[in-house]
Chain A
Amino acid sequence: MNNKSLVSIDDISTEEMVSILDLAKEFEKDPGQNLLGNKVIATLFFEPSTRTRLSFESAISRLGGKIVGFTDASSSSVTKGESLNDTIRTVNNYSDLIVMRHPIEGSARLASEISDVPIVNAGDGANQHPTQTMLDLYSIRKTQGSLDNLNIFLVGDLKYGRTVHSLLMAMSRWNTTFNFISPEELKMPVEYKLYLDKLGLKYYEHSDFSNIINEADIIYMTRVQKERFSDPMEYEKVKNVYVLRNSMLANTKDNMRVLHPLPRVNEIHTDVDANKKSYYFEQALNGVFTRQAILTRLLGLK
């Protein structure tokens, strides 16, 4: 990993990726090892992200580490006008590793160049959120047994969705077939399609998934947000097309699993929750093991 930090999923070699997934599997078997007993981890959340923060803090706490930090920028010196440079230079004196969430894109890369201790990017605006991608990969490998030859359906907001872009980039390292299901206004950006063309990977675009859903190994759902539409009428027309219901899963493959980065609003109907093919809550749990693997690897403990 670049500079002992984890900033972007593109920084990790495929070999390292697999090695981290293997390590996460060890933590799944035994998540309570006291590996961080004498370590202090800073969690700097310049914008609130309760789910991600709790997942990191759970990962750290289960390994016996201590946590310092703040949960949103209003309770930090940032509100007094302190630069990121000064915040990082100060906090890296107090901690062995910094987990950072920041609304500005590229902030994590800059922090990794300033800091003496490893930085883990827990989301920098619309740019990168590599630990989310790693837990998605872990969930896919665990449920499918392998990352090879899968048919992945990405559904919803494929234009602005950071998680689907990173997942696409990561899964394109294996022989993956992609199906993109989105409204016209939120289609997968052309740069990602060109990238898949270059690699010779297959992808198909659809405006709904009613007649192809049975081919899926993974259905990765994301939220279609009203704010993304320039014309509110367009939103009204498509808002129910991208809602997954239990009845739609009747003839899907046995190995198929439904993933979602959470929080969910209404894009997966609650009647899916009882179906054994729903996997989004287990996916969130996998985030703890994956983050344990990433933290201990960056600290050179594993």
Chain B
Amino acid sequence: MKETKKQLSVSAIENGTVIDHIPASNLFNVIQILGLDKIDNQITFGTNLESKKLGRKAIIKLAGIYFEDDDINRIALVAPEANLNIIKDYEVVEKSIVKVPDYIAGIAKCVNPKCITNFEDVKTKFKVVSKKNVALKCHYCEKITDQEHLVIV
């Protein structure tokens, strides 16, 4: 009964996708990676919400938007514990968690200051060599960028 009384911090949507359990500090990275600043759909954000798991979490509710797995998995680098709720008629019809992909293109910056991707206008490409503590091997300079040095482009 307690559940029903609890006020929702971010209002519910009729149809679309809810991305929950985003670390609050990475909300804007998620917005950038998914290009949410460039679309016309109705989107509501909540951030610095209380979370037992993350301390402070962020949530995004996207009306009328559904993602392909390949698209949504791009956020795994900055929100590895994010989960997705697919909403139809105010009901959750499907739940899933993001997965770190094997290869990523154009999301992260190569940590090596002498890498060609930091000089020439070229999209970065990495092979994911570790998924738990994310480690990315640059397709070009072959150096490793780890979680600690991850910068989103």
Contact = CB atoms under 8 A, between A and B. Distances in A.
A8 interface: yes
Given A104-B114, A105-B114, A127 B142 contact: yes
Interface residues of A, number: 17
B115 A105 contact: yes
B83 interface: no
Given A84-B116, A125-B114, A106 B121 contact: no
- Main SS of chain B's interface residues? loop
Contacts of B115: 104-106
A110 B114 contact: no
Contact of A105 (B116, B122, B144): B116
A23 to B, nearest CB: 26
Interface in A24-55: none
A105 B140 contact: yes
Contacts, number: 51
A83 interface: yes
Given A84-B120, A110-B122, A128 B114 contact: no
Contacts of B117: 106
B131 interface: no
Contacts of B110: 106
B56 interface: no
A210 interface: no
Contacts of A84: 116, 119-120
A83 B117 CA distance: 12
Contact of B119 (A104, A109, A127, A128): A104
B3 to A, nearest CB: 49
Interface of A: 8, 83-85, 103-107, 109-110, 124-128, 191
Given A85-B121, A125-B114, 15 more contacts: A84-B119, A84-B120, A103-B114, A104-B114, A104-B115, A105-B114, A105-B142, A105-B143, A106-B115, A106-B142, A107-B140, A109-B140, A110-B140, A125-B141, A126-B114
